[in-house]
């Protein structure tokens, strides 16, 4: 049985204006909501599908994992509401943890769960963190566990102990096959994440969540600071007023290729 483990992170909703913390080490979420990134929503969907297809005696469904503060339980409940059957919460300040720290904590969960009788032969993660842009966790986790890894794919399936993953490459669609156990990082676009139903949310509230302390002190991200890109320049060109502006409008449409000469 695969028993996939999918990792998510509580991040600031980027649909509103992005504001950095005063030290430039993170995104300030005081004036915005929190969510799970689109990459990770797709990873959750894939984990739930794989667990359902691989169901049977001994299968325990998909487990969702997060490292975060107490509020991050909201993201765990959201994943439970759409089909994950178990959840693990590593209680820690995520701002203090760099990619290597997070990978170490996920690896510790994988090993401890295996020792307790629930082996996760597949770990799914979002391709990169929506807030800090970190993309190293999947690679570092695979190195920590000694497993193969494929990054930036949008479809994942499992059959006969082999993971088949697909995504867009520089020369078109690419397909990768690697043996279990394995680590895969997911880009959005390959699947449509399901929305939680009211019964799903009610059921998710009753699922006990495993709470853990970190296994080691964090080293940190060692980043200097995050920097917001400059706002895109906006210019306004007044073409004219009233009927006299018609020739200028036609010229503009021709330059844009909307009208043929």
DSSP string, 72-108: GHHHHHHHHHTT--EEEEEES-GGG--HHHHHHHHHH
Q: Report yes or no on 228 lying in a domain.
A: no
CATH number of the domain to which 124 belongs: 3.40.50.620
Structure tokens at 109: 């969960």
Report the pLDDT value the prediction gives residue 23, as an integer from 0 to 100. Answer: 63
> Distance of CA 10 to CAs 58, 67, 88, Å?
31, 9, 14
251 assigned to some structural domain:
no
Report the pLDDT value the prediction gives residue 2, as an integer from 0 to 100.
87
197: in domain: yes
Long-range contacts of 225-229 (CB under 8 A, 24+ apart): 225/23, 225/24, 225/25, 226/20, 226/24, 226/25, 226/26, 226/27, 226/132, 226/133, 227/24, 228/18, 228/20
When mean pLDDT is compared over 125-129, 130-134, 160-164, the highest value belongs to 160-164
In the chain, which ranges are continuous DSSP H helix?
A: 38-53, 73-81, 99-115, 137-145, 198-206, 246-256
Distance between CA 95 and CA 105 in Å, rounded?
Answer: 14
pLDDT for residue 59 is more than 60: no
Assess if residue 37 is contained within a domain.
yes
Judge whether 64 and 74 are in contact, CB under 8 Å. no
Task: Work out how many domains the chain is built from and give that number.
Answer: 1
Q: Is residue 230 part of a domain?
A: no
pLDDT interval class at 57 (50, 70, 90): very low
**Predicted pLDDT of residue 182:** 98
Provide the percentage of residues in the chain whose pLDDT is more than 90: 62
pLDDT of residue 101: 95
Residue at token pair 């000469």:
261
Q: What pLDDT is recorded for position 259?
A: 72
For 66-114, the pLDDT digits (tens) are 999 999 999 999 999 999 999 999 999 988 899 999 999 999 999 999 9
- Provide the pLDDT for residue 253: 83
pLDDT tens-digit series, residues 16-35: 666 666 666 666 656 667 88
58 pLDDT more than 50: no
User: Does residue 187 contact residue 211 with C-beta atoms inside 8 Å?
Assistant: no
> Does 149 map to a domain?
yes
Residue 100: partners with Cβ closer than 8 Å, 6 or more residues away: 136, 140, 219
Residue 190 lies in a domain: yes
Span 121-148, mean pLDDT?
A: 90
115 φ, ψ to 5°? -65, -30
Residue with tokens 């909201």: 74
* pLDDT bracket for residue 14 (50, 70, 90): low
> In whole numbers, what is the pLDDT of the chain averaged over residues?
88
pTM: 0.80
pLDDT digits (tens, 9 = 90+) for 168-179: 888 889 999 999
- 173-195 average pLDDT score: 95
**Domain residues for 141?**
5-212
The answer to whether residue 75 is domain-embedded is: yes
Strand partners, 183: 123, 149
């Amino acid at each position: 049985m695969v028993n996939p483990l999918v990792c998510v992170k509580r991040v600031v909703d980027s649909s509103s204006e992005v504001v950095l913390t005063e030290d430039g080490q993170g995104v300030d979420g005081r004036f915005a909501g929190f969510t799970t990134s689109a990459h990770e929503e797709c990873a959750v969907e894939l984990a739930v599908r794989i667990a359902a297809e691989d169901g049977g005696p001994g299968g325990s469904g998909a487990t969702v994992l997060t490292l975060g503060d107490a509020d991050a339980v909201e993201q765990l409940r959201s994943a439970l509401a759409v089909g994950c059957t178990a959840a693990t919460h590593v209680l820690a300040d995520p701002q203090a943890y760099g990619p290597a720290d997070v990978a170490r904590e996920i690896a510790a969960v994988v090993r401890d769960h295996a020792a307790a009788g629930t082996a996760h032969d597949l770990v799914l993660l979002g391709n990169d963190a929506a807030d800090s842009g970190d993309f190293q966790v999947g690679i570092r986790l695979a190195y920590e566990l000694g497993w193969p890894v494929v990054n930036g794919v949008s479809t994942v399936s499992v059959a006969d102990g082999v993971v088949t993953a697909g995504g867009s490459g520089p020369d078109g669609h690419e397909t990768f096959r690697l043996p279990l156990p394995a680590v895969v990082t997911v880009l959005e676009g390959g699947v449509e994440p399901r929305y939680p139903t009211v019964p799903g949310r009610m059921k998710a509230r009753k699922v006990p969540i495993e709470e853990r302390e970190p296994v080691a002190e964090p080293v940190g991200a060692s980043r200097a600071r995050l920097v917001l890109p400059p706002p895109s320049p906006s210019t306004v060109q007044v073409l004219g007023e009233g009927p006299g502006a018609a020739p200028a409008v036609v010229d503009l449409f021709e330059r844009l290729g909307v009208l043929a000469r």
